[in-house]
Amino acid sequence: MSKQVLLIEDEPNIIEAISFILSRDGWSVKTHSNGADAVDIVKERKPDVVILDVMLPGKSGYDILRELREDPENRGLPVLMLTARGQTKDREIAERAGCDAFMTKPFSNADVLETVRALAAK
Amino acid sequence: MSTLNLLVAVCTAYVFFLFFVAFVADRLALQGKKAWLRSPLIYTLSLSIYCTAWTFYGAVGSAARNGFEYLTIYLGPTLVMISWWWLLRKLIRIGRTQKITSIADLISSRYGKSSLLAAGVTILAVIGTTPYIALQLQSVTLSFSVFAGQSGGIDPQDKAGLALWLSLGLAVFTVLFGTRNLDAKERHDGVVMAIAVEAVVKLVALLSVGIFVVWGVSGGLTEALARIDASEFGEWHTDRGRWAGLIFLSAAAFLCLPRTFQVLVVENDDESHLRTASWAFPLYLCLISLFVVPIAVVGLDVMPEGSNPDLFVLTVPLALGENGLAMLSFLGGFSSATSMVIVAAIALSTMVSNHIVMPIWLQLRPSGASVSGDVRNAVLMARRISIVGVVMLGYLYYRMSSGGEALASIGLVAFCGLAQVLPAFIGGMFWRGATRLGAIAGLTAGFAIWLYTLYLPSFGVGTILPVSIVENGLFGLVWLKPDALFGISGMDQLMHALLWSMVFNVVSFVAVSLVTFPSPLERLQAAQFVNIFDHSTNAHSWSGGTAQTEDLMVMAQRILGSGEAQALFMRHARRQGARGNLPAPTPDFLEALERELGSSVGAATAHAMVGQITGGMAISVEDLMAVADETAQMLEYSARLKEQSEELSRTALELRNANQKLTRLSIQKDAFLSQISHELRTPMTSIRAFSEILRDTDQMTPDEQSRYASIIHDEAQRLTRLLDDLLDLSVVENGQVNLNLREGTLRDALDRAVSSAAIGEDGVRLEIERTPAKEDILLHTDLDRLSQVFINLIANARKYCDAKSPRLVIRVMQDADRVVVDFQDNGSGIAPEAVDMIFEKFARVSDQKAGGAGLGLAICRQVMTRLGGSVDYVPAARGATFRVVLPYRTALAAQ
């Protein structure tokens, strides 16, 4: 069974692009585009890797990540954060919140693929 | 009933009548009916206190002996009254503002409240007045004996008893009505009214005798004049020097005699009364002297050789059998005598109690004057005792001199003595350079010479002055002979004394004043006196404060600053219910003032300062003023420092505010950049991702290829649009946009907007309802920008309206000064919590489905502001409603 990636992102075109890249590499890609119930979705789906956008409708990506880390079951869940705000302080906030990898949009497809593979192998 | 008993009865009745008048007047005054009690007429009549029994009887006597010389006694006061504007007005104003209670008080007050001067003048006044009181007693007893002489004579024992009873009666009257009021500064309405009545009695009596003499005895005016011509009057010559001297003397006496000063200044109620008195009092004097010569001439004719001309007023009617007229004349003389004694007693008792008894009493008291009621009662008691004392002194003098000839000339002698006050008095009012030591020197010199050359000799050679001195001079030095100082002999004794005493008085006064320096308090008082009209307003009552409070005020101003000091004094004045701004120096007020000063200069200094002004302390006012100046400087310096530190903290606050503003701006800028970054990176992410997919992926279906290419295309367009909007916003926000104003109708602008925005990219058409008839409004504005706003609103409705069949109503309304265009859709509207932010940059109501950057409404608002109108969300309406308002002048300008 292929490994599962949960993509939490609200921009339709970006969802389509990432889904395409990861599917071609053999990942099972699930998507979700609302921040409010994202934590529940993670707990329900139990993905191997989560790709999390920062700016989401309903709840910010940082809050979602903090909530996940409080949950013992998801303390070690590999999370890749994506953000369109490219400032240093955004990366710092993300790392403090407990992300495993952090990427600034626009990203290179190859980098995303490589990072997800690395996270899954951990 | 014998004549004597009748006389006693009449006198008693008359005295009771006076009691009644005084009592009624006091009652009326208490009830506040003071209007006529204090009229110019009463004031004028009360001035007639100047005319005593000595003038009543003595004027005729003087005329019989010395011809017209008696007129000088009336000319002096007349001159003083006529020149009221220069002298009396100022004197009364000073008396009023400084709360002067007597001539001694005036002198002492002017020269730095010197108690030595006050006591000196008081003693002088007592010495000068006592014989005068004795003279009044003598005239009454003499007139009694004249009456009694007709019916069997009167023995000396009876005479003395009569004088005693008279003295006692007058003392009782004076105590009752003169110390009735607790407040020494209040006027004695009852006494003044009684004096006014007596003035009328005097005048009527003398006029009646005069009329009787001219028409009843001489048989008419012409005959009377002929009789005068025939008498020795035509031959009497006037001695110019003596006349000038007598006029000067009587003028000085009018000002300086304690009793005239009392009615003229102390009892004065209104400065404006002077205006009336200035002509009415000379008129009174004129009337009272009118018949003096006829009476004298007829008296010389009718009466036997050797009879006393001083009693002609009484003896002529008696000799001619007019007993009723004689009785009236007697009452006139009695009135003159009693009113003089009463007022003199009041005036002297005030001086004696204030300047001699009270200072001694306060010295003797161990604890000092701490309780005000205590002191007040003591003052009253002192005054009562003084009154009795003064009257009794007069009685004793009368008994001792045993009614001898010496008394006859005592009037002028007393005048001369009191005239010694004049230089210090007038000098103090007009010359700021006059000093206390100068006044003391002048008074002492004048008084000594008067005593030596006039007063002591007046008792008769050998009585007090040994014969050797009178004949050989003091210490055997001839040039010190009392009647020929410096060897200048041959002068009339009175004129000799007047000349030398005045010369020495004035010279010492001026010389010593020039070489000595006044104390600060003296300087203050000098300015107050000399420039009285600059310092006071025309007060119609005794408002304002005492001199003491003013001094406290000057002191307080130096320490507290004038504003605060005035506020403090005003507060206390109001608390005390005083009418002016100065409170009375009550113990309460002094304590409060001391506390207030204490907070600035320390309690001990404050106590010393207040004590210095209110009681005597062993620190000079000069020292204290120096301390006060220093303190004021320090206070000023610290005030400056405080001011500077306040300025600094103000600057700091401004800087803090500026900093906060900058911080806020910086945060806003960060947020904005962050937003821009996000808005730009999002489409770029899609573009990059799909171009990499297209580049790197093999075996892609043509559908996929074209789909991904069109995503790239759309996102590129989105980026472009975003940049356009950003630039647009920046241009509009900075006000750099050039408005392309032209004319067109509102309908054209709406048409253009509808055609470009009603159909979306997806081809779905928004249904729009309009009322074209109402849209024909001519506008003069930037139609392109206006259309841009309309396009935005229509596009928003198309994008965000959540109704199943979206529909937009465009409604146009017009009122007096504006055109309103409403865009109302049939959706669910905007959530209330979101309404506040929809006009903010990058605000988007819903999720990403519209794909806008969230700048549309922000731009709309900026554009409408530039066009002079507005765009707002209208809450509470059905669906989402945006209202565009154009000012009417935009529309009107086109017409």
Residue predicted with more confidence, B692 or B67: B692
Angle between helices B156-178 and B323-352 (to 10 degrees): 60
Among B274, B283, B276, residue whose Cα is nearest residue B86: B274
| Nearest CA among B749, B741, B836, B747 for reference residue B789 | B749
pLDDT on residue B712: 92
Distance CA B110, CA B198 (A): 34
Q: Are B689 and A86 within 8 A, CB to CB?
A: no
Share of chain B above pLDDT 70, in %: 77
DSSP H helical ranges for B83-114 = 88-98, 103-110
Q: What is the pLDDT of residue B851?
A: 52
Let me know whether B197 and B48 are in one domain.
yes
Q: If you average pLDDT over residues A62-91, what whole number do you get?
A: 86
Residue A51 confidence (pLDDT)? 93
Q: Which of B678, B686, B693 sits opposite A55 (nearest CB)?
A: B678
Give the model's pLDDT for residue B889.
60
| Chain A residue with Cα closest to B678 | A84
> Which of B684, B693, B847 has its CB closest to that of A106?
B684
The number of C-alpha atoms within 13 Å of B470 and in the hemisphere containing its C-beta is 15
Q: Decide if A12 touches B, using CB distance below 8 A.
A: yes
What is the reported pLDDT for B807? 87
B659-673 residue pLDDT tens: 888 887 787 777 777
Q: How far apart are CA B424 and CA B553, in angstroms?
A: 27
Quick one: pLDDT band at residue B619, thresholds 50, 70, 90? very low
- pTM for this predicted structure: 0.54
Does residue B281 carry a pLDDT above 80?
yes
Instruction: Note whether B682 contacts A10, CB cutoff 8 Å.
Output: no
Residue B119 maps to a domain = yes
- A 23-42 residues with CB < 8 A to B: 24, 33
> Do B240 and B337 share a structural domain?
yes
Contact B416, B454 (CB under 8 A): yes
For residues B881 and B361, the model is more confident at B881
Residue B150 and residue B139: Cα distance in Å, rounded? 17
- Residue B328 and residue B193 share a domain: yes
| pLDDT(B621) > 70 | no
Name the region of B473 (left: φ>0; alpha: ψ -120 to 50; beta: rest). left
| B863 within some domain | yes
B200 pLDDT more than 70:
yes
Do B174 and B204 share a domain, yes or no?
Answer: yes
Q: What total number of domains does chain B contain?
A: 3
Does some domain include residue B450? no
Which residue has better confidence, B651 or B356? B651
The contacts of residue B367 (CB under 8 Å, 6+ apart) are none
**B710 and B859, same domain (yes or no):** no
Instruction: Looking at the structure, tell me whether residues B328 and B379 fall in a common domain.
Output: yes
Reply yes or no on whether the pLDDT at B539 is more than 60.
no
- Domain of residue B52 covers 3-407
**B805 has pLDDT over 80:** yes
The residues that bridge with B778 in the sheet, in sequence order, are: B745
| Mutation target vs B (from A7, A103, A105; most B CBs, 10 A cutoff) | A105
User: Terminus-to-terminus CA distance in chain A, angstroms?
Assistant: 18
Q: Which residues contact B160 (CB under 8 A, 6 or more apart)?
A: B399
**Does residue A24 lie within any of the structural domains?**
yes
**pLDDT cut 90: percent of chain B above it:** 2
- Cα(B40)–Cα(B27) distance, rounded to whole angstroms? 20
Q: Is residue B155 part of a domain?
A: yes
Please report how the helices B603-614 and B621-696 are oriented relative to each other, as an axis angle in degrees rounded to 10: 140
Q: What is the pLDDT of residues B464-504, one digit of tens each?
A: 666 666 666 666 665 666 666 666 666 677 788 888 888 88
Contact B686 A57 (CB under 8 A): no
Q: Tell me whether residues A14 and B847 touch, CB distance under 8 A.
A: no
In terms of residue numbers, what domain contains A85?
Answer: 4-117
Please tell me what DSSP assigns to residue B780.
Answer: E
Rounded to the nearest angstrom, the gap between the alpha carbon of residue B157 and the centroid of all alpha carbons in its chain is 58
Q: For residue B652, what is the domain's CATH number?
A: 1.10.287.130
Percentage of chain A beyond pLDDT 90 is: 35
**Confidence check on the interface: ipTM exceeds 0.90, yes or no:** yes
Number of domains in chain A: 1
Query: Which position has the higher pLDDT, B594 or B144?
Result: B144
End of a domain among B381, B407, B433? B407
Which residue in chain A is spatially nearest to B686 when comparing CA positions? A14
Q: Which residues of A touch B847 (CB under 8 A)?
A: 10, 33, 57
Closest C-alpha to B121, from B136, B134, B102: B102
Instruction: Give me the CATH number covering residue B260.
Output: 1.20.1730.10
Last residue of a domain, one of B347, B379, B407: B407
pLDDT band at A17 (very low <50, low <70, confident <90, very high): very high
Rg (CA), chain A: 13
- Could you tell me which residues of chain B have a Cβ less than 8 Å from any Cβ in chain A? 674, 677-679, 681-682, 684-690, 692-693, 696-697, 711, 715, 847-848
Name the 3-class secondary structure at B821.
strand
For residue B119, the tally of other CB atoms under 10 A from its CB is 19
Size of interface A-B (CB pairs under 8 A): 66
Q: Are residues B715 and B750 in the same domain?
A: no
Which A residues 88-117 touch B at CB under 8 Å?
A: 104-110
Cβ neighbours of residue B321 under 8 Å, at least 6 residues apart? none
How high is the pLDDT of residue B892?
47
How far is residue B739's CA from residue B20's CA, in Å, rounded to a whole number? 102
pLDDT at B895: 40
Q: State mean pLDDT over B7-19.
A: 82
Is B689 within 8 Å of A10 when comparing Cβ atoms? no
Specify whether B649 is located in the same domain as B782.
no
Higher-confidence residue: B402 or B790? B790
Residue B829 domain flag: yes
Instruction: Mark yes or no for CB contact A11/B682 under 8 Å.
Output: yes
| B791 lies in the same domain as B722 | no
In a domain, A122, yes or no: no
Q: Which of B692, B696, B711 would you mutate first to test chain A, the one with the most A CBs within 10 A?
A: B692
Q: Is B229 exposed, middle or buried (0-12, 13-18, 19+ CB in 10 A)?
A: exposed
Helix axes B115-150, B312-319, angle to 10 degrees: 10
Kindly identify which residue of chain B lies nearest to residue A83, measuring between CA atoms. B678
- pLDDT attached to residue B475: 61
**What's the CA angle centered on B120, arms B114 and B124, to 5 degrees?**
150
Interface contact flag, B689 A57, Cβ < 8 Å = no
| pLDDT of res. B372 | 41
Give the nearest partner residue to A85 out of B678, B697, B715, using CB atoms. B678
Residue recorded with tokens 């890609």: A29
Q: pLDDT tens, B688-732?
A: 999 999 998 888 889 989 999 999 998 898 888 888 888 877 777
Contacts of A12 in chain B (CB under 8 A): 848
Q: Are residues B691 and B752 in the same domain?
A: no
Chain B residue numbers with beta carbons less than 8 Å from the beta carbon of A17 are: 685-686, 689-690, 693
User: Domain boundary residue among B407, B436, B467?
Assistant: B407
Quick check: B157 pLDDT over 50?
yes
Q: What is the CATH number of the domain that holds A104?
A: 3.40.50.2300
Please name the residues between 39 and 78 in chain A that touch chain B, using a CB distance below 8 Å. Answer: 55, 57
* Minimum CA–CA partner of B673 in chain A: A85
Residues of A in contact with B717 (CB under 8 A): none
Which tokens go with B791? 């396009």
* pLDDT over 90 (residue B772): no
Position B422 scores a pLDDT of 87
Q: Which of B326-330, B392-396, B478-482, B562-566 has the lowest mean pLDDT?
A: B478-482
